[in-house]
A and B are shown apart, each in its own frame.
Chain A
Amino acid sequence: MIRMVNRGHCSKRKAVSIRIIAVILALLTSALFILLMEHNPIDVYISIVKGAFGTKYRMIETITKSIPLIITSLGIAVAFKMKFWNIGAEGQIIMGAFMASWVALTFPNLNRGLLLPMMFVAGFIGGGFWALIPAFFRARFNTNETIFTLMMNYIALKWITYLQYGPWKDPNAMGFPKIANFSEAAVLPKLWGVHTGWVIALIMAALVWYFINHTKQGYEISVIGESENTARYAGMNVGKIILVTMIISGGICGMAGMIEASAVSRTLSVEISGGVGYTAIITAWLAGLSAPIIIGVSFLFAAMVQGGSFIQLAYQIPNSAAEILQGMILFFVLGSEFFIRYRLIVNKKRNTHTDRQNGKDLC
Chain B
Amino acid sequence: MLTLFLAAAVVAGTPLLFAILGEIITEKSGKLNLGVEGMMLMGAVIGFKVGLATANPYLSIIAAMVSGAFGASIFAFLTITLRANQVVAGLSLTIFGTGFSSFLGQGLMGEVISDSMKKFFVEIHLPILGQIPFIGEIFFRQGIFVYIGYVLAILTGIYLYRTRAGLNLLAVGENTAAADAAGIRVSLYQYIHTLAGGAFCGLGGAYLSLVYIPSWQENVSAGRGWIAVALVIFSKWSPYRAIYAAFLFGGLDIIGFRLQKFDIHFSQYIIDMLPYVFTTLVLILVSIRESKENAPPAELGNPYFREER
Q: What's the Cα separation between A302 and B229 when bound, in Å?
A: 30
Select which of B34, B98, B287 is within 8 A of A137 by beta carbon. B287
Select which of A6, A87, A142, A279 is within 8 A of B287 by beta carbon. A142
Cβ of B85 under 8 Å from chain A: yes
Total number of A residues with any Cβ neighbor in B under 8 Å = 45
> A320, B92: Cβ atoms under 8 Å?
no
> A143, B82: Cβ atoms under 8 Å?
no
> A141, B273: Cβ atoms under 8 Å?
no
Interface pick from A9-17, A48-56, A156-164:
A156-164
Cβ of A298 under 8 Å from chain B: no
Q: What's the Cα separation between A162 and B274 when bound, in Å?
A: 13
Measured between beta carbons, the chain A residues less than 8 angstroms from B277 are 151, 155
> A159, B96: Cβ atoms under 8 Å?
no
Measured between beta carbons, the chain B residues less than 8 angstroms from A335 are 77-78, 82, 84
Cβ of A330 under 8 Å from chain B: yes
Cβ of A331 under 8 Å from chain B: yes
> A318, B273: Cβ atoms under 8 Å?
no
Measured between beta carbons, the chain B residues less than 8 angstroms from A142 are 287, 290
Cβ of B279 under 8 Å from chain A: yes
Measured between beta carbons, the chain A residues less than 8 angstroms from B102 are 318, 320, 323
Residue of B nearest to A336 (CB): B82
Select which of B95, B223, B267, B272 is within 8 A of A282 by beta carbon. B95
Q: What's the Cα separation between A322 and B100 when bound, in Å?
A: 10
> B83, A152: Cβ atoms under 8 Å?
no
Instruction: Name the interface residues of B270-291: CB closer than 8 Å to any CB of A.
Output: 270, 272-273, 276-277, 279-280, 283-284, 287-288, 290
Residues 35-57 of chain A: 1 if any B CB is under 8 Å from the residue's CB, otherwise 0? 00000000000000000000000
Cβ of B233 under 8 Å from chain A: yes
> A147, B229: Cβ atoms under 8 Å?
yes
Instruction: Name the interface residues of B227-270: CB closer than 8 Å to any CB of A.
Output: 227, 229-230, 233, 267, 269-270
> B287, A320: Cβ atoms under 8 Å?
no
B286 to chain A, nearest CB (A): 8
Cβ of A176 under 8 Å from chain B: no
> B96, A148: Cβ atoms under 8 Å?
no
How many residue-residue contacts, CB under 8 A, span A and B? 135
Main secondary structure of the interface of B (DSSP, over half): helix
Measured between beta carbons, the chain A residues less than 8 angstroms from B233 are 144, 147
> B276, A281: Cβ atoms under 8 Å?
no
Measured between beta carbons, the chain A residues less than 8 angstroms from B96 are 323-324, 327-328, 330-331
Q: What's the Cα separation between A230 and B78 when bound, in Å?
A: 29
Cβ of B130 under 8 Å from chain A: no
Q: What's the Cα separation between A285 and B95 when bound, in Å?
A: 14
Q: What's the Cα separation between A334 and B227 when bound, in Å?
A: 26
Cβ of B74 under 8 Å from chain A: yes
A138 to chain B, nearest CB (A): 9
Total number of B residues with any Cβ neighbor in A under 8 Å = 45
> A338, B83: Cβ atoms under 8 Å?
yes
Measured between beta carbons, the chain B residues less than 8 angstroms from A334 are 78, 82, 84-85, 88-89, 92
> A166, B84: Cβ atoms under 8 Å?
no
> B34, A141: Cβ atoms under 8 Å?
no
Measured between beta carbons, the chain B residues less than 8 angstroms from A326 are 95, 99
Residue of A nearest to B107 (CB): A318
Cβ of A210 under 8 Å from chain B: no
> B287, A141: Cβ atoms under 8 Å?
yes
Q: What's the Cα separation between A17 and B102 when bound, in Å?
A: 33
Cβ of B307 under 8 Å from chain A: yes
Cβ of B58 under 8 Å from chain A: no
> A324, B92: Cβ atoms under 8 Å?
no
> B78, A143: Cβ atoms under 8 Å?
no
> B87, A146: Cβ atoms under 8 Å?
yes
> A87, B91: Cβ atoms under 8 Å?
yes
Cβ of A85 under 8 Å from chain B: yes
Cβ of A165 under 8 Å from chain B: yes
> A141, B290: Cβ atoms under 8 Å?
yes
Measured between beta carbons, the chain A residues less than 8 angstroms from B290 are 141-142
> A324, B103: Cβ atoms under 8 Å?
yes
Instruction: Name the interface residues of B74-117: CB closer than 8 Å to any CB of A.
Output: 74, 77-78, 82-85, 87-89, 91-93, 95-100, 102-103, 106
Cβ of A315 under 8 Å from chain B: no
Measured between beta carbons, the chain B residues less than 8 angstroms from A320 are 98-100, 102-103, 106
Cβ of A20 under 8 Å from chain B: no
Residue of B nearest to A326 (CB): B95
Residue of B nearest to A4 (CB): B307
Q: What's the Cα separation between A137 and B277 when bound, in Å?
A: 14
Q: If the complex has contacts A141-B284, A324-B99, are A147 and B226 also in contact, measured as CB distance less than 8 A?
A: yes
Select which of A137, A141, A327 is within 8 A of B95 by beta carbon. A327
Instruction: Name the interface residues of A1-42: CB closer than 8 Å to any CB of B.
Output: 4, 6
Residue of A nearest to B98 (CB): A323
> B84, A141: Cβ atoms under 8 Å?
no
14 A-B pairs whose Cβ atoms sit less than 8 Å apart in the complex: A144-B287, A150-B226, A159-B273, A162-B267, A281-B88, A281-B91, A318-B106, A320-B103, A324-B96, A324-B99, A324-B100, A330-B96, A334-B78, A337-B82
**B residues lining the A interface (CB < 8 Å):** 34, 74, 77-78, 82-85, 87-89, 91-93, 95-100, 102-103, 106, 223, 226-227, 229-230, 233, 267, 269-270, 272-273, 276-277, 279-280, 283-284, 287-288, 290, 307-308
For the complex of A and B, list the 10 residue pairs with the smallest distance between their C-beta atoms, beginning with the closest: A327-B96, A323-B99, A162-B269, A338-B82, A143-B287, A330-B92, A320-B103, A320-B102, A324-B99, A141-B287
For the complex with contacts A282-B92, A330-B92, 6 further pairs of A-B residues with Cβ separation under 8 Å are A318-B102, A318-B106, A320-B99, A324-B100, A324-B103, A334-B89
